[in-house]
Amino acid sequence: MSDVLDAGVRWRTEPDRIEVDGVPIAYRRDGTGDPVLFFHGHWLTRCWSPLHAGIAEGADLIAPEAPGFGDTPCPSWVTGRDDVVLLYRSLLDALGLDRVHVAGYGLGGWLAADFAVFNPHRVRSLALLAPYGLRVPGRPIADVFIMNPADYDDMYYGGDPVDGVVPGPGTPAQGGPEGFAARYGDMGAAARLIWDFRYDLKLEHRLPALGVPALVVAGDGDRIVPAEHPARWAELLGTGVRTVPGGHAFPVQRPAETAALITAFVSGVSDA
């Protein structure tokens, strides 16, 4: 993994790149042990965060950036989550990986679940952090596309923000114009995937039939993804919910604790 850049973006690192199906995918990889494919959410790209580093202490962590996010360009044919899932399957082939543990955060949790549903033979386990993707009547996930930047600290962090880590597009003053442009681009890429459909009703049928070991983790003060959502994911996957102190940004607020849950889970599955 490359050195940190002096770019004014916290934890920013230069990615490696690999061409897959004509797309130069930016990715970061570090650690030893069983491979874990990590799906980012609608933010936290272009970086190797303490969460990534923590997981890499106990696993071989591969963290690609989806088309349109971070430093991966978006070809015209990527118009939905299914295209991302197929591209990531080809990424595993390009990296010479047969089966991997899969983890995802937020929107990335939804993509990770889709990947597992359509490629169960490639997935050893599934770890979901505050996942999007289900419909819970009366308890919708917050609309991050219309959120006022003044509310970010409260909504994402529960009033306990991490300095220099802005979750949405915000304003040019938050992290400088380069950071603003990068986050705005990521939000546009997220909108391409979930603007029209904020949940997939088919997951209600597909998840119970998945049959892979699963871990669901939630922030105990999450104001983006209500607690009923991880509870429903856990119910459908036949597991429980592990909670971590913090808001929706708990992987940033409590990276060591979150990473430890993932690595212990992966290790337990591998040793079974």
Number of Cα atoms under 13 Å in the Cβ half of residue 141: 21
What gap in Å lies between CA 175 and CA 14, rounded to an integer? Answer: 18
Q: Is the pLDDT of residue 193 over 70?
A: yes
Q: Is the pLDDT of residue 2 over 60?
A: no
* Mean pLDDT of all residues in 24-33: 97
All structural domains of the chain: 16-271 (3.40.50.1820)
Q: Is the pLDDT of residue 3 over 50?
A: no
Q: Is the pLDDT of residue 5 over 80?
A: no
Q: pLDDT tens digit string along 202-215?
A: 999 999 999 999 99
pLDDT value, residue 9:
64
Nearest to 30 by CA among 13, 9, 43, 7: 13
pLDDT value, residue 64:
98
What gap in Å lies between CA 181 and CA 89, rounded to an integer? Answer: 29
Q: pLDDT tens digit string along 46-75?
A: 999 999 999 999 999 999 999 999 999 999
pLDDT value, residue 260:
98
pLDDT value, residue 173:
86
Q: Is the pLDDT of residue 7 over 70?
A: no
* Mean pLDDT of all residues in 168-176: 86
Q: Is the pLDDT of residue 8 over 90?
A: no
pLDDT value, residue 174:
84
pLDDT value, residue 25:
98
* Mean pLDDT of all residues in 81-88: 97
pLDDT value, residue 243:
98
Give me the chain's average pLDDT, please.
94
Q: Is the pLDDT of residue 178 over 90?
A: no
Binned at pLDDT 50, 70 and 90, residue 6 comes out as very low
How is the chain classified by DSSP, letter by letter?
A: -PPBP-SSSTTBBPPEEEEETTEEEEEEEE--SSEEEEE--SS--SB--HHHHHHHTTSEEEEE--TTSTT----TT--SHHHHHHHHHHHHHHHT-SSEEEEEETHHHHHHHHHHHH-GGGEEEEEEES--B---TT-PPP-TTS--GGGHHHHHHTT-PPTT---S---TTSSHHHHHHHHHHHHHHHHHHHSS-SB-TTHHHHGGGT-S-EEEEEETT-SSS-THHHHHHHHHHT--EEEESSSTTHHHHSHHHHHHHHHHHHHHHHH-
Q: pLDDT tens digit string along 114-150?
A: 999 999 999 999 999 999 999 999 999 999 999 999 9
